[in-house]
Amino acid sequence: PMPPPMAMMPGMSELSPNTAPYLPASAATRDVSRTIRLRAGDTVNLTPRPFATTIDGKPVVMLGYNGMLPGPRLEVPQNAQITARVTSALDGATSIHWHGIRLDNAFDGAVGLTQGAIEPGRSFDYSVRFPDAGVYWYHPHAREDMQQGLGLYGTIVVRSASPNYYSTVNREEMLVLS
C-alpha cells in the first residue's frame, strides 16, 4: 500500500511479502547485559534466544545473546584466540558474524558463503582470534533484517598489549544505539 499521492511502481501493485509476522514459540525474561572478560584459550557460550521485556509500558518479545540486549560485551586481549560456542534457542537459523575482526573465513558467519546456518537447537564452535586492538561488534548473518532488528548484536573490546595504546580516561562507557 502506498500513500494516495504516491504512485506505485509499475508491476508492483499486487506484490506482497511472502512472510508471516515473527511470533516466537516462547520467551524467557531479559537478563541485564554484562561484560565477559576472556583470556587466550577461553570458551564463551552464547545462546541467541527470545526474551520478554517492556518498551514504553508495552510487552514485547525481542532477541538477545544470553537473553541480553545488547548481548554481552566481550573483552579480550589483543592476539588472543578464543572459542565462541553458539547454541541456537531461536525458532529459525542463525549465525554470528564478527564484524571487523580479521579471522579465518570458516568462522566469518556469512551463511551460504563461509558457513552453514546454525539450526534451532544446534551448536557451532567459532574459533576467533583478535589480531587488532579496538572496538568491534558481533551480529547474525541469517535473517539479519529481523534478528538484528529485534536485538541480536553485541560489542567486543580488544585490549592492546601496549599500555599507552588508549589515552588515559576516568572511565569507559559503551553506548549502543539501535
pLDDT of residue 3: 66
Sign of CA dihedral 109, 149, 121, 156: positive
In whole angstroms, give the CA distance from residue 32 to residue 59.
Answer: 17
The single-letter code of the amino acid at 131 is P
pLDDT score recorded for residue 53: 84
Residue 165 has pLDDT above 80, yes or no: yes
Closest by CA to 156, choosing from 16, 46, 9, 7, is 46
Q: How many CB atoms lie within 10 A of CB 104?
A: 11
Q: Are 33 and 70 in contact (CB under 8 A)?
A: yes
Question: Which segment of 5-14, 89-98, 101-110, 158-167 scores lowest on mean pLDDT?
Answer: 5-14
Which pLDDT score, from 0 to 100, does residue 26 have? 64
pLDDT of 36 over the 70 cut: yes
> Taking all residues of the chain, what is their mean pLDDT, rounded to a whole number?
88
Band the pLDDT of 21: cuts 50, 70, 90. low
Which of 94, 154, 153, 156 has its CA nearest to residue 123?
A: 94
Tell me: pLDDT of 166 over 90: no
Q: CB neighbours (10 Å) of residue 112?
A: 10
- Lowest model confidence (mean pLDDT) among 2-16, 47-61, 115-129, 154-168: 2-16
150-173 average pLDDT score: 90
Per the CB < 8 A criterion, the answer to whether 64 and 152 are in contact is yes
| Local confidence band at 17 (pLDDT 50, 70, 90 cut-offs) | low
Beta bridge partners of 82: 128
- Upstream peptide bond of 140 is cis (omega within 30 degrees of 0): no
